Each structure stands twice: as C-alpha cells, then as structure tokens.
Amino acid sequence: MKNKYTYLCLCFSFVFSFLSSNNIFAQDNDALLIRQIYDETLTKGQAYSQLEYLCKKIGGRLSGSPAAAAAVEFTRYVMDSMKLDNVYLQPVMVPHWVRGQKEVGKILNSRKIGSKDIEVCALGNSVGTGKGGITANLLEVKNFDELKALGKEKVEGKIIFFNRPMDATKFNTFEAYGGAANQRGSGASEAAKLGAIGVIVRSLASNIDDILHTGSTNYQLNVPKIPAVAISTKNAEFLSSLLKSDSTVSFYFETHCQMLPDILSYNVIGEIKGSEKPEEIIVVGGHLDSWDLGEGAHDDGTGCMQSIEVLRIFKALNIKPKRTIRAVMYMNEENGLRGGLEYAKVALEKKEKHIAAMESDRGGFTPREFTTEADEKTLKKMQKWATLFEPYGISAIKQGGGGADISPLKNQNTVLIGYVPDSQRYFDVHHTSADTFDKVSPRELALGAGAMAALAYLIAQYGL
C-alpha cells in the first residue's frame, strides 16, 4: 500500500510539473509573439500614414456626407489590398444632418459693453434658426433642476444658457465629460418644455480656451424643437460674468443647419478567418464618421486605423488565429449609432457568435489599460494575461465600459472591451476644429495598435 501511495504521489507530481512547465512555456511563447507584434507595428506600422490620408485627403466625415462616402471607399480599398479572407460593406441608413452656412452670434443691449460678437457653432442634429435668427434675453442655469425651478413664466420666450463645466477635480476626464454631457444632449428639449426659444451650451472641454466643441443634441418626442448652439469655455466664463452685473443682456444667433432625409451608407468590414473555430468571432473596431469642424483624427480616425492595423499585423507576421478576427469601421456613431445597431442586428439574424468585441474610441494617445464588462470568471481569465502587457505600459485589465458601437452586442453574450489610452488631452480636441492629424503621435498610435493586436491574439488563441 505504501509503495502504491508513493507511486501515485510521484505520478501526480510529474503531471503537475508537466502542466506547470507547459504553462510557463505557453507564457514564454506568448510573450515572444507579443514582442513581435509590437516590433512589427513600431517599425513597419501603416496606421499613421493611412490616418494622414483619411484626415488630409478626406477630412471631417459627417454621416451622410460625400466625405463619409469617400472614407468608406478608402478603408475598403485599404483592407482589400491586404488580401484578407473577406472584405465587404454592410448597408445602413444613417441620419443626414448638414451645418449650412457659418453661424453668427452676438451679445446685445449690454449696459457694460454694448454689443459684442460671440462665436457659436450649431450642435449636431439641431434645427436651424433660418434667416433672421433669434433674439431674446438670456437666463443662465447650471443644471435641469435650476431650469425647472425658474418655471415656465420666467423661461418662456427666453434663450437658456447652460453653463455647467466639466469637473476639473475628476482624474478620469471621461467621468467629468459624462457629468456635464446631458446639458448638450437634452438641454434643448428640457428648455423647450418650459417655452424657451433657443439654448446656448458651454463647450464640453477640459480647458478654458476659445475652441468650440460641437456634439449631438437629441430631441424628445412631442416636444418643440428649438435651435441649440455651443460657445467656447472662455466665452462661457465671460458671458456668465456679464450676466451677474447685467441680467437684462440679450443674445442673437443665426444658424442654417437642417436634418435631411436618411441616406444610405455602410459599415466597412474585413476579417481573417479562424483556423480552428472560425465561427467564434472577435471584433476590433472604431467609428468612421466624425464631426465636420476638424479632421476627425482622434475621434475616431485613430481607432479605425488601429483596428485595420491589427489585421495587417496578423498578416505580416503570418499569425493564423484560431478564432476569426474581424475589423469593423462603424458608420454614424456621432449622431445616431446606426452602424453599431445595424451590425448587432445582422449578427443576430445570422446567428453569429461574437465572443468578444473591442472598441478604440478614446483617442490615439499613450495606452494605459483595458476595461471590460465581462463577468468575474472571464475577467479573472483575462487578468492572468496582464503581466504580458506590463512591458508595454498597460497597467490593468479591469471592469469598466466597452464602447458605444459595440454596446448593442452585449445582449448577444459578447464580452465588451474598451481600449483605454491616456485621457488628459482628449477633451482639448474632442468634437472641435483642433481634432487634426498633427495632434497624433505616430508612436502612441502604433503602441495602441500593438496592444489591441496582442489582446486579440490572446483571445483568439485561448478563447473566453
């Protein structure tokens, strides 16, 4: 009996040692391959040159615009030239909002300064004032509770000035953005319920500067649609100070934006089929549309080019993923999310099995971490890979958001993953004329592509 017990212990010890050594061997192999992934994109990456073309030759890409159509053809061409297993367009009807001629804004009847021109820009999806514009006294509020407290009697016929800044004490600038964004998204409808004729919204920016930030406003059903414009944070501070000394100040603005009928556009999709489990799909993606004020570089040209670069890296290194890797350029994230919704709808109709979806839509800055909406068991599995990313500045894989375009896949048991770069400079350029190619570092862009490719490889290799 003693010999039998000793024999069993020796067998168990051998099996444990064998499995442990295999695990170490696999980790070493993974580390070597991830090193090759980073070396490839840092020395031979094409994301930066492709981003230059997207920004400089095509520029701002409002959904439904000729520029958006050109971006579809460009990204399809790029992925076609890579000789992927499949490249195709997925039709989707998108909103077609146009800005029209340049907006005009002006302070009127101030006892202190008389009249003064103030630069404004229409918020996306807003109705225009038309020729002649609108003029009314201003009422400043910080939030919807203050607005409601004023009541219809004071609000009716006025222009409401929403002046809630992003919270500068929040280290996570996306958290600060979320804390201020509802005044832009819902402010027009909330003011219209009380009889306001227009709204002015403080730009959602980290800094006090002269840059105008646009973004989508969303009208509620059965509520009058009133025009909405943004002013810079610097002008918001000035206007607020002026109103404190002169509550009779009025404001004039004129906009010519309008919403045209929906128009046909496309998601652009390319994929490398899995060698063992092709039916299990891993998505990497960004949104191809952008606002029109700038070139759509960080939002979200970088995410699109990084996603395409993931596939290029796999092809260049002859990596044959066990599961299918698919890059998706979503159309219409900015003012409708139609591309993300359509992609999920088609996936459900085709009974496709998406095990993971990764989104890059936080700019092309230095990589920091990945966030995921995975359950605890899946998160722990992913966190076992964390040491593989430490040499490249990725500090964590943790619970958090995935992304807007991939969010409709959540109901299909898809693990959603957000690629998170440093966020401190993002809201300097977000939705502005300053979101241009020259603000992107080629090295930071490549590091992000490497991080995304490495995580996509690990999921393809080991599943979730």
Question: Do 375 and 285 share a structural domain?
Answer: yes
Question: Do 298 and 382 share a structural domain?
Answer: yes
d(CA 291, CA 75): 18
What pLDDT, on the 0 to 100 scale, is given for residue 14?
A: 47
Question: Do 372 and 270 share a structural domain?
Answer: yes
In a domain, 147, yes or no: yes
In a domain, 11, yes or no: no
E strands, 187-345, are: 198-202, 228-231, 250-254, 258-272, 277-287, 323-330
Q: Is the pLDDT of residue 22 over 60?
A: no
Q: What is the CATH number of the domain that holds 451?
A: 3.40.630.10
Q: Is the pLDDT of residue 1 over 70?
A: no
The domain boundary, picked from 202, 234, 256, lies at 256
d(CA 164, CA 38): 42
Q: What is the CATH number of the domain that holds 154?
A: 3.50.30.30
Question: Do 243 and 126 share a structural domain?
Answer: yes
What pLDDT, on the 0 to 100 scale, is given for residue 247?
A: 85
Q: What percent of the chain has pLDDT over 90?
A: 92
d(CA 349, CA 384): 34
pLDDT tens-digit readout, 45-63: 999 999 999 999 999 999 9
The domain boundary, picked from 224, 256, 288, lies at 256
Question: Do 117 and 92 share a structural domain?
Answer: no
pLDDT tens-digit readout, 197-222: 999 999 999 999 999 999 999 999 99
Give residue 79's identity as a one-letter amino acid code.
Answer: M
pLDDT tens-digit readout, 361-373: 999 999 999 999 9
Question: Do 349 and 237 share a structural domain?
Answer: no
In a domain, 10, yes or no: no
In a domain, 15, yes or no: no
Residue 12's pLDDT band (cuts 50, 70, 90): very low
Higher pLDDT, 24 or 444: 444
In a domain, 4, yes or no: no
What pLDDT, on the 0 to 100 scale, is given for residue 248?
A: 87
Question: Do 430 and 304 share a structural domain?
Answer: yes
The domain boundary, picked from 212, 239, 256, lies at 256
In a domain, 6, yes or no: no
Number of domains the chain is built from: 2
Mean per-residue pLDDT for 311-328?
98
In a domain, 3, yes or no: no
Contacts 24+ apart (CB under 8 A), 347-353: 347/409, 347/412, 348/412, 352/279, 352/281, 353/279, 353/280, 353/281
CA 284 vs CA 132, 276, 388: distances in Å? 47, 19, 20
Q: How many residues does the chain have?
A: 464
Indicate the average pLDDT of the chain. Answer: 94
Question: Do 82 and 125 share a structural domain?
Answer: no
Question: Do 356 and 269 share a structural domain?
Answer: yes
Q: How far is CA 265 from the centre of its chain?
A: 19
Question: Do 416 and 374 share a structural domain?
Answer: yes
d(CA 107, CA 113): 9
Question: Do 186 and 124 share a structural domain?
Answer: yes
Residue 131 sits in which domain range? 100-256
In a domain, 198, yes or no: yes
Question: Do 72 and 163 share a structural domain?
Answer: no
